[in-house]
Amino acid sequence: MDGNFNKNEHLAGRNSLRLDLQPIYNLAEICHKSGITHAILSPGSRCAPLVLAFSRHPGIQCLSIPDERSAAFIALGIAQHIKKPVVLICTSGSAAYNYAPAIAEAYFRQVPLLVLTADRPPEWVGQLDGQTIWQDQLYGKHVRFSASAPVDLTHQDARWHLYRIMNEAIRIAQGEPGGPSHLNIPFREPFYPESDSDTFFESDVPYHSVSPSKSRLEDNTRSMLQEKWSQASRKMILTGQSAPDDTLTAILKRASSEHHIPVAGDIISNIHPIPGAITRADVFLNREHPDLDNFHPDLLVTFGLSLLSKNLKNFFRERPAAEHWHIQAEGEVADPLKSITRIIRCEPEDFLSEMLDTESPGNFERQKQENFFQIWNIENGNSANKLESFFASGDHFGEFEVVFETLKHLPGNSNLHLANSMAVRYANYCGLNDHPSGVVVYSNRGACGIDGCTSTAVGSAIADPSRLNILITGDVGFFYDRNAFWHKYTLPNLRVVLLNNHGGGIFRMIQGPSQLAELEDFFETEQRLNAKNLCDEFGFEHLRCDKRSKLKHFIEELMIPDSRTKILEVETESEQNKNILVDFKKLFR
């Protein structure tokens, strides 16, 4: 901007309509100053001032996504990749409600979103005015911050109020833990500027710069924990869903290789780069295992979000460790294993560094720890060998083998997206040990819904066009979320493996519904769609595999980097898939 530009003269020459919109334009500047770079806009009239503010700001990349439900999951996919808030903007009424599934997912995954919903003025809410619902506190407990802006922004105090709550919403969204913040903004007509008006962003708009805080152990607490740590001879580390972190991964490698501490987690824990990581506990820790007591630690250390493995959760619920330390710097603490004895307020990498530097125990204790490590490690290795042998012998062609082969062919430095239902469970049985470096695993395991898995993968593909994004999904979730592709943006780095069993095949795997006469009509809900027409509609390449002999060839073709979205569709039968999984689980009884 010209250094001689006189802001006061510019503002004085604007009429009252334009002055009313200036505080809204300044919201985009506050976001820019806070480091926000992306916004997802959905078409509407009432949100026009917000759309203009963000789309005209040179420092914010805006995408237009018509379907608000899909838009919110695309925003989540971008935010989980760039690790900072993404702005969501929609018009008033039911449009805002369509954000709810993704907001719930973001809340439980601690993914930062900044949700800006346009609203009717308060005097017209509840008066049968069009596109008007109760939007104040719309998302309830599923946002970390919620506020409504003043409708009249002519007074300086009202503007100060608007800027203050905007700063607060951003601070909380990207805090620790992060999550979605909601700002509801009512507008009275008229709210369109004149066509020849300029958009000016005030550089001196109030902006709250926040210094990061870091919790550290006090000296006496550290000494006490180090003493207990050294006394424990069967220590174990269990990680919930986590994003990759190079510093933490290096420390976990040290814990496993140098200190012989089992490091366990699911495929969504992203611990596969750690040699010896225990990633197949869901396979071998079943109730029929004859020696479960041998796997019991005396000190369990946990951190991260949700656990996928039901067997792993049941094992620790039924056999709680004498000491269970949960590491979490801030926020409310969940206790899914029902066994926490101590909450330690610091970062996992800081805590583990302190503990691993503790003076080594005697030879006898070290030998017990090494023996305990070998028990877990041997069983994990045996499970991997049984998996390889299972698919190498016999005819087990079905969706389980499709996932197995897909994971084996993942290229390095790629993103793996696992849809809910059977896709993420199959992948967890397979694991990712010994795979190329740089593979990052994402899955919507916050609310665990199928509704936005494709849109989330699309968001990730948009956020980082340099990496291949591979989504493994079932047919119900895929067709439910087909509006993930309803926009103008190309996705040359997106690959989809579609497991089409023509219904909700997971219900055939669950003991309850699988035994009911209503299984096919009201649980599986059979559908006969395939993805060919969808691919034709959106210009994607459609690969269809119906034979085991063709599978590896099609997967290799799928992974070739080129300029076109590709969908590999494998049609299978639910009953056959069930029988294959039953046969596989028999190997561990």
Q: pLDDT digit string (tens) for 63-82?
A: 999 999 999 999 999 999 99
The pLDDT confidence band at residue 16, using thresholds 50, 70 and 90, is: very low
- Mean pLDDT over 348-367 rounds to 87
Per-residue pLDDT reduced to its tens digit, 512-527: 777 777 776 667 677 8
- In this prediction, residue 199 carries a pLDDT of 82
Fold observed for domain 394-586: Rossmann fold (3.40.50)
The pLDDT confidence band at residue 229, using thresholds 50, 70 and 90, is: very high
User: Which has more pLDDT, 57 or 15?
Assistant: 57
Q: Is the preceding peptide bond at 177 cis, omega within 30 degrees of 0?
A: yes
Token pair, residue 442, equals: 């994402």
- In this prediction, residue 522 carries a pLDDT of 65
Are 344 and 225 in contact by the 8 Å Cβ rule? The answer is: yes
What single DSSP character describes residue 468?
Answer: E
* Positive/negative CA dihedral, 276, 277, 280, 286: positive
Residue ranges in 154-276 assigned as alpha helix (H): 156-173, 219-231, 246-257
Give the position of tokens 């806070």: 34
Pairing of strands 541-545, 180-186: unpaired
- Mean pLDDT over 310-338 rounds to 95
Could you give the count of Cα atoms lying within 13 Å of 436 in the half-sphere of its Cβ? 13
The CATH number of 7-186, from 3.20.20.150, 3.40.50.970, 3.40.50.460, 3.10.105.10, is: 3.40.50.970
Residue 144 has pLDDT above 80, yes or no: yes
End-to-end C-alpha distance for the chain, whole angstroms:
72
User: Which has more pLDDT, 500 or 393?
Assistant: 500
- In this prediction, residue 13 carries a pLDDT of 41
The pLDDT confidence band at residue 198, using thresholds 50, 70 and 90, is: confident
Residue 5 has pLDDT above 60, yes or no: no
Query: 521: left (phi > 0), else alpha (psi -120 to 50), else beta?
Result: alpha
The pLDDT confidence band at residue 492, using thresholds 50, 70 and 90, is: very high
Fold observed for domain 221-384: Rossmann fold (3.40.50)
What single DSSP character describes residue 65?
Answer: -
Are 216 and 280 in contact by the 8 Å Cβ rule? The answer is: no
Distance separating alpha carbons of residues 303 and 265, to the nearest angstrom: 10
Distance separating alpha carbons of residues 422 and 507, to the nearest angstrom: 10
The pLDDT confidence band at residue 435, using thresholds 50, 70 and 90, is: low
User: Under DSSP, is residue 523 helix (H, G, I), strand (E, B) or coil?
Assistant: helix
Per-residue pLDDT reduced to its tens digit, 248-260: 999 999 999 999 9
Give the position of tokens 């290789």: 257
The packing angle between helices 156-173 and 16-33, to 10°, is 30
Residue 12 has pLDDT above 60, yes or no: no
User: In this prediction, what percent of the chain has a pLDDT beyond 90?
Assistant: 79
Residue 342 has pLDDT above 80, yes or no: yes
Q: How far is CA 520 from the centre of its chain?
A: 31
194-208, 390-404, 456-470, 570-584: range with lowest mean pLDDT:
194-208
What single DSSP character describes residue 518?
Answer: T
- Mean pLDDT over 93-112 rounds to 97
- In this prediction, residue 505 carries a pLDDT of 65
Distance separating alpha carbons of residues 261 and 301, to the nearest angstrom: 11
Domain with CATH 3.40.50.970 in the chain: 7-186, 394-586
- Mean pLDDT over 113-123 rounds to 96
Residue 19 has pLDDT above 60, yes or no: no
Residue 15 has pLDDT above 60, yes or no: no
Distance separating alpha carbons of residues 12 and 531, to the nearest angstrom: 58
Residue 3 has pLDDT above 90, yes or no: no
In DSSP notation, 307-370 reads ---HHHHHHHHHS--SEEEEE-SSS----TTS---EEE-S-HHHHHHHHHTSPP--HHHHHHHH
Per-residue pLDDT reduced to its tens digit, 537-567: 999 999 999 888 899 999 999 999 898 999 9
Residue 288 has pLDDT above 90, yes or no: no
User: Which has more pLDDT, 557 or 435?
Assistant: 557
Distance separating alpha carbons of residues 445 and 500, to the nearest angstrom: 21
- In this prediction, residue 14 carries a pLDDT of 42
Angle at 418 between CA 176 and CA 581, to 5 degrees: 130
Residue 7 has pLDDT above 50, yes or no: no
How high is the mean pLDDT of the chain? 91
- In this prediction, residue 4 carries a pLDDT of 41
User: Under DSSP, is residue 451 helix (H, G, I), strand (E, B) or coil?
Assistant: coil
The pLDDT confidence band at residue 406, using thresholds 50, 70 and 90, is: very high
- Mean pLDDT over 162-175 rounds to 96
- In this prediction, residue 546 carries a pLDDT of 85
According to DSSP, the residues that pair with 114 across neighbouring strands are 87, 181
Residue 184 has pLDDT above 90, yes or no: yes
- In this prediction, residue 6 carries a pLDDT of 43
User: In this prediction, what percent of the chain has a pLDDT beyond 70?
Assistant: 94
